[in-house]
Amino acid sequence: MLSTNKTYRAPPNSGEVVLGRTLLTLLDEACDRFPNPRALNQFTDTGWQPLSNHELRTAAAELALGLLDLELEAGDCIALLMHSDVNFCIADMGSLLAGLVNVPIDVTQTIEHIIFILQHTQAKALIISNLELLAQIIPYLENVTHVQTIIVADVPQEWHQQHDTGMKVFSLEEIRSQGRAKNSELTVNELQSKIIADDLATIIYIPGITGEPQGVMLTHENLSANALAMFTGIPNLGFGSQEVILSFLPLTHVLARVFIYGHINYGHSIYFSNSNRVLKHLKEVKPTIFATVPLLLEKVYAKLIEAGEKSQTQSKKVTENRVSLPLRFPSTWKGKTALATLREATIKLSRTGRTLKAHLLSPHNAISARQFYLPLSQSMMKWAVKLAQKYELGKTPKHQDALMLKVADSFIFSQWRAVFGGNIKYLLSGGAALKPEIVNLFAAAGIKILQGYGLTETSSAVACNRSQFNRPGTVGVPIAGVEVTLAEDGEILTRSPYITQGYYKNTAATQQLIDAQGWLHTGDLGEFTSEGFLKITGLKKSRFKLSTGKYVTPQPIESKLEKSPLIAHAVTVGADCKFCSMLIFPDVENLHQQALLSGIDLPTEDLLQHPCIIALYQALVDEANCHLPHWSTVKRFQLINYSLTVENGMLTSTQEVNRGKILRVFTQVINAMYEEKRVQRAGGVTIEKVNDLCPENQTFSCPTFAQSLNS
C-alpha cells in the first residue's frame, strides 16, 4: 500500500529519457562525434598508456570475433574476473558485441563464491586479469563443469600455457589476433544488427539473504538509458577531452560501470587508477570529474578537521616551519577596495591569526601588489575550518561570511581543492550515505559534491543532486524517467525503464522485489522534504552498504553465531561505516557455566570484560567470518548484558530482531566500536598474554577456499 497518491519525478529540464539504445551504440556515437586519442588511459610502470575511442571500438570488434571462434553463441554467459582497467572495458564491449551476457565478478570475492557464480550462470568462458589470479583459482576449477576456455588479459611476452586445467587457456591478445583477421565493417555491422536494446547485457551478483550471491539481470537499455539520464541532467557537462575523469571504483559494481558508459558516450578522457594510487593520481591527472564513495571523502574531511583542531601549542611548533604559498587577488579586488577588504578581513582574523594580520599590514608589504607570499599558520587552518563548518549549501551566506569565504578561498580553500587536483567541477559520491557536514564543508571550499542514491537492481541511479537541486543530507531529486513514491511504512518504491528484469534463476525473489504494479521495493526507508528532495531515513531490509559502497547481508553470519549456546542474539551493524561490527548478546546462564569450567567465577559485567571470555567470543566470530568476503567480515564486537524480548520492543511478534530500535538504543555502544584507537581483541590484552591466561581457548583457521582472493 502506498502512503499517499503522490509520485515524485524529475524536475523539468533536468535530464532526458533516451530509450532503445544498446551499450555498443554509446561507443559508436563517441567515435563519430567526439574522437579522442586519449579516451582511455592505463597507468603502467612507464607512465600512462593511452587508447583512443576508435582503438577501443576496434579492440572490441577483434575480441568479439575471436570469442565467436571459440564456439560461443549469443546468449551464452562469459565471466569477467578482472581489475578495473582498460582491459575490463575491452572485455566488456567485446563480449557484448559478440551477443554474450557478461558476468563481472568482484576480485575481492571468496573463491567459493566465484566458483558458485561460474556454476550458477553456466559460464562457458572466463576472462581473468593475470596469471596470479588464475593461479589462485586453478585448484578449484575442477568443480566447474561448463567453463571451456580461460582468457588471460595480462601475460609476459614469452608466455605459454603453464597450467594443466583441462581447459583451453589463451592470452587476450591471442583471441584478438584470431578476430583481427576477420574484422571488417561488414562483419561488425552484422554483429550489431543482431543485438537489440532489450537483450540481457550482464548479470551482476550481490550478496543474497541466504549467504549465496544473487544475480541481478540488466539489459542494454537498463544501463544505457540510466547513464544518459544522469549525464544529460548534469549542467555544463562538456564533451570530448574537455572533461578529464579519474576512475578508481570497481567496474564490477554497477555505479562505476554506468559512469564509464556515460563518459565513453561523451568522449571524455578517462584515467584508470586504484585505491592505492588514487590520491597521487588526483594531483597528477587533475580531473574535472571524480566519482568516489563516502569513505575517501570521510578520510579527507577527518584530516581537515584534525588540522583545524590542533592545540595552540602545536600551532606554535608549526609556525616555526611555515610554508610560504603564493596568494593571488581576484581581478575584481583593486585599489582601495582590495585594501579595505583585507583590512576588514584582518579584524575578523585577529582572534585566531595574528601572524596574518601583522603580515598583511606590515609596511614591508605592498597591499596593492597582485601577488605576495603568505605564511600558513595552524590558527589560520583552524579559522578556515570553523568558517567552512558554518556554511550551508543552498543558502546565501551573510555579507560578512561571504567576505570571509573569499579570503579563506585564497589562503586555505585552494589548498583543499589541490587534494583533488585543483580542477574538480563535479565530485560524485554514491554507494552509501554521506554526512551533511562533509557536503557543506567541501561546498564552502568550492568543491561541489553531487550525492546520489540507487541500487544494482535499478541500474544505479534513482535520484541524485545536481545544479540547483542540491541539498546536504539528501540524495537529491529523481533522475529523468524515474518515479518514486513511499509505502505506508516509509519504504521507498521506484518505477522506471532502468529497473532489473529480476534475479537470475530466482522467480520467487523477483516477485518479492517488484510488485504487480511494477513498483520496485528498495528495502530503504525515506521521506521527501518540502522542496521535494529525497532523504534516506533508515533500513527496512537487513542488507546495508558500507561507506566503501560494498553490500553486506548480515543474516548468514548472525545465524552462524546464534547456533552457539553462548550467544542469544547477534546483530551486525555498520551501515555507512567503513567496516562491519557486531553487538553480541550472550546467553548469560550458559556463559557462566562455561566460565566456571575454566575456573572463572565473576559477576556478569566483570565476566564480559575478562580477556579469556572476550577471546572465547573472538574465536566464535572468527569462525563465523569464514566463507565471507573480507570486506563483509566482522572486525569488532561488543558483548552486552541485555535480553532482547518482544516486551521491550527489541524483537518483533515473529521473534525477529527489531534492528531499527536496537540501532537507536545502542547508538553510543556502536559509535564507541568505531573509535580509531579502540583495541578490540581480548580487551586490550595481547594475544600472547591471552594464550598464557587461557590455555584451553581455541583459535579458528579459515581454509583458503573460503577466503577472499589475494587480489
- What's the CATH number where 65 sits? 3.40.50.12780
pTM of the predicted model, to two decimals?
0.87
Same domain for 262 and 129, yes or no, is yes
Contacts of 685 (CB under 8 A, 6+ apart): 611, 693
All three cell numbers of 192: 550489431
Q: Phi and psi dihedrals of 127, rounded to 5?
A: -100, 125
Predicted confidence at residue 104, as pLDDT, reads 98
Map grid coordinates 577527518 to a residue: 302
> How far is 523 from 494, CA to CA, in rounded Å?
11
Q: Give the residue carrying C-alpha cell 551493524.
A: 573
Pairing of strands 460-464, 449-455: antiparallel
Last residue of a domain, one of 387, 422, 457: 422
Kindly state whether residues 39 and 135 are assigned to the same domain. yes
Write out the H or E segment, with its range, that includes residue 583.
strand 580-586
CB 167 within 8 A of CB 70: no
Give the pairing type, strands 269-272 and 426-429: unpaired
Domain closes at, from 390, 405, 422: 422
Q: Would you mind telling me the total number of residues written for the chain in this entry?
A: 711
DSSP letter for each residue of 637-652: EEE------TTTTSB-
Q: State the DSSP string of 103-147.
A: EE--TTSBHHHHHHHHHHHT-SEEEEEEHHHHHHHGGGGGG-SS-
Least Cα distance to 58 among 190, 185, 220 occurs for 185
Answer whether residue 454 is part of any domain. no
Cβ 585 vs Cβ 642: under 8 Å: yes
Do 478 and 458 touch, CB atoms closer than 8 A?
A: no
Q: Which residues in the chain land under pLDDT 50?
A: 1, 311-339, 341-343, 345-375, 680-683
CA dihedral 576, 580, 583, 587 (to 10 degrees): 150
- Domain termination residue (choose one: 370, 390, 422): 422
Residue whose grid cell is 565471466: 79
Q: Are residues 108 and 243 in the same domain?
A: yes
How confident is the model over 300-346, as pLDDT tens digits?
988 888 876 663 344 444 444 443 334 444 444 444 444 454 445 44
End-to-end CA distance of the chain: 45
pLDDT digits (tens, 9 = 90+) for 88-111: 999 999 999 999 999 999 999 999
d(CA 174, CA 70): 12
Helix, coil or strand: residue 699: coil
- Determine the Cα–Cα distance for residues 666 and 688; give it in Å rounded to an integer: 32
Same domain, 270 and 335: no
Q: Do 52 and 129 fall within a single domain?
A: yes
Please name which of 315, 327, 427 lies closest in space to residue 377, comparing C-alpha atoms: 315
Q: Is 520 helix (H, G, I), strand (E, B) or coil?
A: strand
Residue-wise pLDDT tens digits, 103-140: 999 999 999 999 999 999 999 999 999 999 999 999 99
| CA dist., res. 577 & res. 200, Å (int) | 34
SS3 560: helix
Write the CA distances from 338 to 361, 363, 369, 372, integer angstroms. 13, 16, 10, 14
The DSSP line for 451-474 is EEEEEGGGTEEEEE-BTTB--TTS
Q: What's the rounded Cα separation, in Å, for the pair 694 and 25?
A: 65
Identity of the amino acid at 110 = T
Predicted pLDDT at 366: 37
Q: Give the domain extent around 324.
A: 313-422
Q: What are phi and psi of 114, to 5 degrees?
A: -60, -45
For residue 684, give the DSSP letter: G
CA distances from residue 49 to 44, 96, 247, 492 in whole angstroms, order as listed: 7, 24, 15, 44
CA distance 71 to 373: 68
- CATH label of the domain that carries residue 622: 3.30.300.30
Backbone angles phi, psi at 144, to 5 degrees: -100, 125
Contacts of 213 (CB under 8 A, 6+ apart): 109, 113, 116, 117, 120, 205, 206, 207
The answer to whether residues 269 and 326 belong to one domain is: no
> Is residue 220, in this structure, part of any structural domain at all?
no
Nearest-angstrom CA–CA distance, 584 and 577: 18
Is the Cβ–Cβ distance between 580 and 632 less than 8 Å?
A: yes
Same domain, 29 and 165: yes
DSSP classification of residue 5: S
Residues 27 and 137 in one domain: yes
**C-alpha cell read off for 577:** 561505516
Q: How many helices and strands (H and E) does the chain possess?
A: 26, 28
Contact predicate 30/262, CB 8 Å: no
Q: What is the DSSP letter of 376?
A: -
Q: Sort strands 168-171 and 149-154 into parallel, antiparallel or unpaired.
A: parallel
Domain annotation covers residue 6: no
Q: 174 phi and psi, to 5 degrees?
A: -65, -40
The CA distance from 44 to 46, in Å, is 5
Q: According to the model, what pLDDT value does residue 696 have? A: 66
3-state DSSP: the chain helix, strand, coil percent, rounded to 5?
40, 20, 40
In a domain, 609, yes or no: yes
How far is residue 563's CA from residue 557's CA, in Å, rounded to a whole number?
10
Q: Phi then psi for 211, rounded to 5 degrees?
A: 110, -25
Count of structural domains, the chain: 3
Residue 283 lies in a domain: yes
Q: Are residues 283 and 332 in the same domain?
A: no
45 and 172 share one domain? yes
What is the reported pLDDT for 2?
52
Residue 501 lies in a domain: no
* Cell output for 280: 597521487
Torsion of CA 133, 136, 141, 147, to 10 degrees: 0
Same structural domain, 631 and 700: yes
> What letters, b where the CB count within 10 A reaches 16 and e where it falls short, cover 327-364?
bebeeebeeeebeebbeebbebbeebbebbbebbeeee
The letter for the amino acid at 579 is: F
Are residue 46 and residue 183 in the same domain, yes or no?
A: yes
416 assigned to some structural domain: yes
Q: How far apart are CA 689 and CA 207, in angstroms?
A: 37
Are 180 and 62 in contact by the 8 Å Cβ rule? The answer is: yes
Q: How far apart are CA 370 and CA 338, in angstroms?
A: 10
Cell of 372: 605576495
DSSP H/E element including 663:
helix 659-665
Is 527 inside a domain boundary?
A: no
Distance, in Å, from the CA atom of 29 to the CA atom of 228, rounded to the nearest integer, reads 13
Q: How would you label 271-298 residue by residue, b for 16+ Cβ within 10 Å and e otherwise?
A: bbbeeeebbebbeebbbbbbbbbbbbbb
Q: Is 599 exposed, middle or buried (0-12, 13-18, 19+ CB in 10 A)?
A: exposed
